[in-house]
């Protein structure tokens, strides 16, 4: 949300299918480290940022 990317745009930039990304977001699918790395790069953050919560 902070990057103002739609799920579709993020999926495209991370080179994953939108339905797969949706499943990862909802906790229905488990992403590999390689896919998480691509998502992090598409968001412009380090991969560890995907595992921390904003407080």
Q: Is the pTM of this model over 0.85?
A: no
Domain assignment present for residue 30? The answer is yes
Domain assignment present for residue 35? The answer is yes
The pLDDT-based confidence of 13 (bands split at 50, 70, 90) is very high
Would you state the pLDDT for residue 9?
A: 94
For 12-36, what is the mean pLDDT?
94
Domain assignment present for residue 29? The answer is yes
Domain assignment present for residue 1? The answer is no
Domain assignment present for residue 2? The answer is no
> For residues 30 and 32, what is the distance between their CA atoms, to the nearest angstrom?
7
Question: Is the predicted pLDDT of residue 54 greater than 90, yes or no?
Answer: no
- Contact indicator for 4, 12 with CB cutoff of 8 Å: no
Range of the domain at 19: 7-51
Question: Is the predicted pLDDT of residue 52 greater than 70, yes or no?
Answer: yes
What are the structure tokens assigned to 52, written together? 């921390």
> For residues 47 and 39, what is the distance between their CA atoms, to the nearest angstrom?
8
Mean pLDDT of the chain: 90
CATH code for the domain in which residue 37 is found = 1.10.260.40
Count up the domains in the chain and report the number.
Answer: 1
């Amino acid at each position: 949300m902070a990057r103002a990317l739609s799920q579709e745009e993020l999926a495209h930039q991370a080179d994953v299918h939108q339905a797969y990304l949706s499943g990862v977001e909802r906790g229905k699918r488990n992403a590999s480290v390689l896919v998480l790395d691509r998502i992090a790069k598409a968001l412009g953050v380090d991969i560890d940022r995907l595992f921390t919560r904003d407080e």
